[in-house]
Chain A
Amino acid sequence: MLARARLFLLGLFLTAAAPATAQTLERQVTNFPEKLEIGISTDEISITSDFRGADLTIFGAIDGFDANLLAQGKYNIIVTLEGPKDNATVRKKERVFGIWVNTQSMTFELVPEAYSLSSTRDIATIAPPRDIANMGIGVDHMRLVPLGFFGDGSNLGEFRNAFRRIREESGVYQRDPGGVQFISSSLFKASVRLPANVPNGVHIVRAYLFRDGLFVAAKALPLRVVKTGLEQAITRAAHERPVVYGLFAVSLAVITGWGASLLFRKD
């Protein structure tokens, strides 16, 4: 019992340390000869004033593969793109005296603001669902931990489902079973669509290699999504020099309003 508790604590430490080391995440199950290498078409996406989303291509290769297994389609790849993490609050409306009011809410701790998954086929058929779930791959297996939650947990499931559904409907969480394609024997290509409302910050591209249902190796690369030019200058000013920004917004209004009255004066 005590040992179990200790193990549990250790697990907590590992998960807490995970975000810091995520950028250099490289895992290799040593008894397999296969190695995974990946590269991305760009390591920085710029949000400009006419940004409408972008396509990201991830290339990869399997080194030391077994030609027989490859021919039988036993190698499968999952590529995920995980956005920066932030707390997210789910609210539920109920009818109170005839009007719809937010009555219940639940805040999930540090969930990705965007998540895309591409794979060679449906992930449920790549590896046993329990392994996929343990590795936290896919929207359905994302860790959704309520913040400061002391209830009986009876409505946890419904809030988790609502969260996943809304994020998928808004396009920030997406999946494409078939988005990873082999372009030559061991070279593969994955396309991931970044929606127009993609959050700023460091996103992490992860690729997982499976051999006949068993996890072999994983690689990760960072992708930075940044506002550029005017957009960046405005956001920075708004957060770093808010009073100056406010004064500037007011002067812009004064100049526009006054300027128009001078411009359109009839005399």
Chain B
Amino acid sequence: MQFPPAPAGFWYIEVSAVTVYLPIAELSVNIFIILGMGAAVGFLSGMFGVGGGFLITPLLIFYNIPPVVAVATGANQVVASSISGAITHFRRGTIDVKLGTVLLGGGLVGATIGVWLFSILRRMGQLDLTISLLYVVLLGSVGGLMLWESIGAMRKAAKNLPTALRRPGQHIWIHGLPLKMRFKKSKIYLSVIPVAALGFFIGMLTSIMGVGGGFIMVPAMIYLLRIPTSVVVGTSLFQIVFVSAYTVIVQASTNYTVDIVLAFVLMIAGVIGAQYGVRVGQRLRGEQLRALLALLVLAVGIRLAVELVIPPEDVYSVVSAGFGY
């Protein structure tokens, strides 16, 4: 077969310079696709002020990276994308360290149990399905709620009505729980039970789904725990950095699934993409940003849902012991 004439060295570059071997995933990937994914997710995470774990993990799975590697490596990417935000908030004094520590305590227990569940599900062959189902449920519900809320806010803005992000502080059952503690920075007096429980839940999500969990933790802190918005983002980032770092270490030592090459390529592209995302994000209005983020979250959720429902190309699959156990 005759190849059409190509510029000198063209074929060589196309076949050799673009692939990179991932030592833990044990496959060769196109480095530009990984860089592009990292940059795109970094851009979006900078624009919306989110960690991006909920985007990077499904994208890696769509690109045939084994879900076990995608989740553990996604958690590593979350550390890189959350650390600078956490440091900025720490300098500005917008982290409630005491509240964050209670969240973190729950988070570490949750992550430990999560990694244990992860190993069991992997052995049973139900890990991929569980990851997809959790993504569909969480992305679908959070995306739906955000879209509803932001459309409402946009309508109000159009009618020149005042927008109230935070409903007046009426007390709900959560505020009647025992073991109360005073959180000075947040100026609240709250039971540690719901705080630790929230941390626990997010920690489980971090270890099973490879997400930071900010997209659930922030609304939960604002609407359920009634924590002042000024400390919410910083405190959740504080929890996210430590829980995802812990998850990476535990995943690395129990499942051996953190691919450092993949993580490094993703995070380099991600942190650069984020810088440009932040600039674009500053030009958009808050409710527009939230509506766009909601659409994005929903789109990823729908894509995963479709995959669960349509008949698979092959009902059989083979895993060798390396990844089956």
Contact = CB atoms under 8 A, between A and B. Distances in A.
B87 interface: yes
Interface in A231-255: 231-232, 234-235, 238-239, 242-243, 245-250, 252-254
A93 B263 contact: no
Interface residues of B, number: 59
A166 interface: yes
A99 B309 contact: yes
List the 4 shortest-distance A-B pairs measured between CB atoms, nearest first. Answer: A246-B252, A261-B84, A246-B249, A260-B271
B258 A245 contact: yes
Interface string B78-90: 0111111001100
Contact of A254 (B79, B264, B314, B315): B79
B79 A242 contact: no
Interface of A: 47-52, 86-95, 98-102, 105, 107, 113, 159, 162-163, 165-167, 196-197, 199, 227, 230-232, 234-235, 238-239, 242-243, 245-250, 252-254, 256-261, 264
A52 B23 contact: no
Given A89-B318, A242-B256, A246-B250, A99 B308 contact: yes
Given A246-B253, A253-B76, A91 B125 contact: yes
B308 A100 contact: yes
Contacts of A163: 316, 318
Given A91-B318, A232-B23, A250-B79, 10 more contacts: A52-B28, A87-B321, A163-B318, A227-B23, A245-B258, A246-B253, A249-B248, A249-B249, A253-B248, A253-B263
10 contacts: A50-B21, A86-B322, A89-B324, A90-B317, A94-B315, A100-B311, A166-B316, A238-B24, A254-B79, A261-B87
A34 B84 CA distance: 73
A257 B320 contact: no
Contacts of A51: 21, 28
Given A239-B256, A249-B258, A86 B321 contact: yes
Interface string B260-288: 11011001100110110000000000000
B274 A260 contact: yes
Given A231-B21, A256-B264, A249 B324 contact: no
A48 B81 CA distance: 29
A246 B251 contact: yes
Contact of A245 (B260, B309, B324): B260
A167 B318 contact: yes
B319 interface: yes
Interface in B2-27: 15-17, 19-21, 23-24, 26-27
Interface of B is mostly: helix
Nearest to A248: B260
B19 A52 contact: yes
A245 B82 CA distance: 20
Contact of B249 (A48, A92, A243): A243
A107 B125 CA distance: 12
Interface string B303-317: 000001101101111
Given A246-B248, A254-B80, A261-B88, A93 B16 contact: no
A52 B15 CA distance: 9
Contacts of B320: 86-89, 113, 199
Contacts of A260: 84, 271-272, 274-275
Given A246-B249, A249-B252, A89 B260 contact: no
B245 interface: yes
A81 B45 CA distance: 47
B150 interface: no
A195 B157 CA distance: 59
Contact of B268 (A105, A162, A256): A256
B36 to A, nearest CB: 18
A49 B312 contact: no
B15 to A, nearest CB: 7
A256 B270 CA distance: 10
A98 B309 contact: yes
A49 B83 contact: no
B236 interface: no
A254 B28 CA distance: 26
Nearest to A100: B312
B76 A250 contact: yes
A257 B316 contact: no
B77 interface: yes
A253 B240 CA distance: 13
Given A93-B317, A261-B87, A238 B258 contact: yes
B179 to A, nearest CB: 32
A90 B316 CA distance: 7
Contacts of A230: 23
A146 to B, nearest CB: 14
A87 B111 CA distance: 30
B275 to A, nearest CB: 5
B125 A257 contact: no
